[in-house]
Amino acid sequence: MVTGANSGIGFETARMLAERGARVVLACRSLEKAAVACNAIRMAVPDAELSAVRLDLTSAESVREAAATVSAEFDRIDLLVNNAGAAFGALTLIDGIDRTFVTNVLGPFAFTGLLLPRVLSAPAGRVVTVSSGSHEAGRLDLDDLAYTRRGYGRWRAYARSKLANLLFTFELQRRLAAARERAVAVAAHPGAAATEFGRNSGGLTRIASAPPLRWVFAPLVATAEEGALPILRAAVDTDVRGGEFYGPDGFHGIKGSPHKVQPAAAAEDPAASEMLWEKCEQLTGVHYPLPQRSL
């Protein structure tokens, strides 16, 4: 299962998995766009086993409905790729919480928790959550998810959410290990890739991604297919271990071959990850079928 699979890195991840015989579920906010993506994959892989489910990570109801639909259809999930994400230009609150945090953190936390029984039913289930190199600039403030104490900034909010993605991954791995489960949690980041994410962003990122300048910056960034490779390595490499983090090996992790990378120290703080986990449980009402691990 790949979230945000209708375009960019999510699409390339879904396509390459399908090419290698995986049955892939595309979880997308728009079923129409998911259908277009499925047709595009079938052009390259005529016998691809594909299906789609509507998933709006900003809606608790949509997350629960999507998880229920998938759980009813499949008795196991070998791989869940939490790829969907966003960086919103203006502060928009959903139930008093920054929309970027809801989309990138709370939605995936709830979706993963609701599907975890199916992941645990797989012989070697794996959860891959897509973070970003920008997590290094992230500052977690769980008491100010509405940015009342500090002004909102698109990339400040994004960096916070990507740090939270890593804290979530490492905490999930700790809990899986404590429960002696075979499933593992892994993180990855694509570097800087030329995708719709950049073109839908604001400021210099959008300008650099626009058609007049795109050709100038193209040699400096990865293609969507190249950006998907660290996610795919985290997803299928049999040498990958739970709690690892993968990204490009080039200059500043912008592009290159996928390899294991070292996260920022803030991402490996077990006390912070425990606090984030408890906050996510409180805000989503989703509790994982795993014992609480001790600090």
Looking up tokens 């950006």, which residue turns up? 227
Question: Which of 147, 152, 158, 246 is flagged as catalytic?
Answer: 158
Per-residue pLDDT, averaged over 179-208, amounts to 70
Query: What does each C-alpha distance from 44 to 12, 39, 213 come to in angstroms?
Result: 12, 9, 30
The pair of structure tokens assigned to 33 is: 């766009």
Rg (CA), the chain: 18
More confident residue, 214 or 259: 259
**Is 61 part of a structural domain of the chain?**
yes
Domain harbouring 257, CATH code = 3.40.50.720
Residue 214 has pLDDT above 60, yes or no: no
Per-residue confidence (pLDDT) for residue 287, from 0 to 100: 97
Residue type, 121: S
Per DSSP, 102 falls in state I
* Exposure string for 29-39, b = 16+ CB within 10 A, e = fewer: beeebbeebbe
More confident residue, 88 or 204: 88
* Exposure string for 149-184, b = 16+ CB within 10 A, e = fewer: eeebebbbbbbbbbbbbbbbbbbbbbbbeeeebebb
What is the domain extent for residue 222? 2-284
Per-residue pLDDT, averaged over 132-152, amounts to 94
Closest CA to 137 of 269, 263, 234: 263
**Is 290 part of a structural domain of the chain?**
no
Residue 167 has pLDDT above 60, yes or no: yes
Is residue 98 very low, low, confident or very high in pLDDT (cuts 50, 70, 90)?
very high
CB 111, CB 141: distance < 8 Å: no
Looking up tokens 């699409």, which residue turns up? 11
Closest CA to 241 of 156, 157, 128, 162: 128
Instruction: Reply yes or no on whether 158 is catalytic.
Output: yes
Per-residue confidence (pLDDT) for residue 291, from 0 to 100: 79
What's the mean pLDDT when you consider all of the chain? 90
Is residue 150 very low, low, confident or very high in pLDDT (cuts 50, 70, 90)?
confident
Per DSSP, 294 falls in state P
Per-residue confidence (pLDDT) for residue 255, from 0 to 100: 81
**Is 294 part of a structural domain of the chain?**
no
Q: Per the structure, how many domains does the chain have? A: 1
**Is 114 part of a structural domain of the chain?**
yes
**Is 89 part of a structural domain of the chain?**
yes
**Is 293 part of a structural domain of the chain?**
no
**Is 295 part of a structural domain of the chain?**
no
Q: What is the chain's length? A: 295
Residue spans of alpha helices (H) in 122-202: 154-178, 196-199
Give the whole-number percent of the chain exceeding pLDDT 90: 81
**Is 58 part of a structural domain of the chain?**
yes
Sheet containing strand 184-188, strands side by side = 50-54, 24-28, 2-3, 79-82, 126-130, 184-188, 245-248, 258-260
CB 133, CB 144: distance < 8 Å: no
